[in-house]
Amino acid sequence: MTNTIKTDLVLDAKGLACPMPIVKTKKSMNGMEPGQVLEVLATDKGSKADIKAWAESTGHQYLGTIEEDDVLKHYIRKSSGEEAEEKKHPHTATNEEVAAAAGNDDIIVLDVRESAEYAFNHIPGAVSIPLGELEERAGELDSSKKVYVICRTGNRSDLAAQKLTEKGFKDVINVVPGMSQWTGETTSING
Which of 50, 77, 104 is a domain's end point? 77
pTM of the model: 0.67
CB contact set of 174 (below 8 Å; sequence gap of 6+): 89, 91, 92, 93, 149, 154, 157, 158, 160, 161
Residue 2 lies in a domain: no
- On whether both 16 and 72 belong to a single domain, the answer is yes
Range of the domain at 72: 9-77
**Closest of 102, 104, 122, 119 to residue 178, by C-alpha:** 122
Verify that 106 and 149 share a domain, yes or no.
Answer: yes
In a domain, 85, yes or no: no
Residue 57: inside a domain: yes
pLDDT in tens, 13-68: 999 988 889 999 999 999 999 889 999 999 998 888 889 888 888 888 899 999 99
Q: Is residue 4 part of a domain?
A: no
- For the annotated catalytic residues, the residue numbers are 18
